[in-house]
A and B are shown apart, each in its own frame.
Chain A
Amino acid sequence: MNLEINRVSNHLRGISDSRVTQPKHAADLGGMQKAGSTDDKKADFANAIKGYVSKVDDLQQTSNMSIKDLLSGKNEDVNSVVSQVAKADMSFKLLVGVRNKLIEAYKQTMNMPL
């Protein structure tokens, strides 16, 4: 699962880097903050993606730890393990969904006839 996360994060980093070479797109996608120059916005997009990926990664790590604790007998609360796993699963699905959408958008942009 961690490998998977790293792969997704690398993909997303790749996308955000490729956006840097296309200032207009970067500005559009990083449009969460209104103030600042286009440079700031580019950094914001990359940072936003990084932030989300690390949040999802944190959830995965905690769910992994709780599973380990349960199996090693350190913790006997199955309910919190279920809750952690459900959260990690949900957020990961959302991340993968967004990632797929981004890749698709990138491909469409690249296939645009010039």
Chain B
Amino acid sequence: MEIDNFFGPIDIAISGIKAQGKQLELISSNVANARTVDDGKGVPYRRLEAALKYDDEIGGVEVDKIETDMSDFLRIYDPGNPQADKDGYIAMPNVNLPQEMINLNIATRVYQVNVAVLKRYQRMVDNTLELLR
């Protein structure tokens, strides 16, 4: 991480905002597909999660990769459903809605905090420039 960088805090805060934006995108995808029985390959949708990584160049954060949650699918007993197997069960995505809501709250808060840091840094610089007057 570079030291003595005037715009460093701006870049870092923006990187945090971007990362949380991506997180938000994945959460919305998970929520929207909470009942998707076919992900295009004949199996139910698997929930996605972003793996964040420290960005050594600016000291911020970046989305390293998007990982698929490989935990078991939710099995629902619904014998009347045409897609049910011979025992009457139907496989549903491994999306846990309450958990997604909590993740959504965390992502929103972290986003807000990054915006607050950006604003505060701007105010700090403004205060310093007041000294010139």
Query: Which A positions have Cβ atoms within 8 angstroms of B?
Result: 79-80, 82-83, 86-87, 89-90, 93-94, 97-98, 100-101
Residue in A86, A94, A97, A101 whose CB lies within 8 Å of B10: A86
Query: Which B positions have Cβ atoms within 8 angstroms of A?
Result: 6-7, 10-11, 14, 17-18, 21, 118, 122, 125-126, 129, 132-133
Which A residues touch B7, using CB under 8 A?
Answer: 87, 90
Residue in B10, B126, B129 whose CB lies within 8 Å of A83: B10
Instruction: Decide if the interface of chain A is mainly helix, strand, loop or mixed.
Output: helix
Report the minimum CB–CB distance from A101 to chain B (whole Å). 5
Decide: A90 and B133 in contact? CB cutoff 8 A: no
Report the minimum CB–CB distance from A58 to chain B (whole Å). 13
Give the distance in Å from the alpha carbon of A87 to the alpha carbon of B13 in the complex. Answer: 12
Give the distance in Å from the alpha carbon of A89 to the alpha carbon of B122 in the complex. Answer: 9
Report the minimum CB–CB distance from A91 to chain B (whole Å). 8
Report the minimum CB–CB distance from A6 to chain B (whole Å). 22
Which B residues touch A97, using CB under 8 A?
Answer: 129, 132-133
Decide: B18 and A79 in contact? CB cutoff 8 A: yes
Decide: B125 and A90 in contact? CB cutoff 8 A: yes
Which B residues touch A80, using CB under 8 A?
Answer: 14
New A-B pairs, 11, CB < 8 Å, besides A93-B129, A98-B132 = A79-B14, A79-B17, A79-B21, A82-B14, A82-B118, A86-B122, A90-B10, A90-B125, A93-B125, A100-B132, A101-B132
Report the minimum CB–CB distance from B32 to chain A (whole Å). 20
Report the minimum CB–CB distance from B44 to chain A (whole Å). 31
Which B residues touch A83, using CB under 8 A?
Answer: 10-11, 14
Report the minimum CB–CB distance from B60 to chain A (whole Å). 11
Which B residues touch A90, using CB under 8 A?
Answer: 6-7, 10, 122, 125
Give the distance in Å from the alpha carbon of A101 to the alpha carbon of B131 in the complex. Answer: 11
Q: Can you give 29 A-B contacts (C-beta < 8 A)? A: A79-B14, A79-B17, A79-B18, A79-B21, A82-B14, A82-B118, A83-B10, A83-B11, A86-B10, A86-B118, A86-B122, A87-B10, A89-B122, A90-B6, A90-B7, A90-B10, A90-B122, A90-B125, A93-B125, A93-B126, A93-B129, A94-B125, A94-B129, A97-B129, A97-B132, A97-B133, A100-B132, A100-B133, A101-B132
Give the distance in Å from the alpha carbon of A94 to the alpha carbon of B7 in the complex. Answer: 13
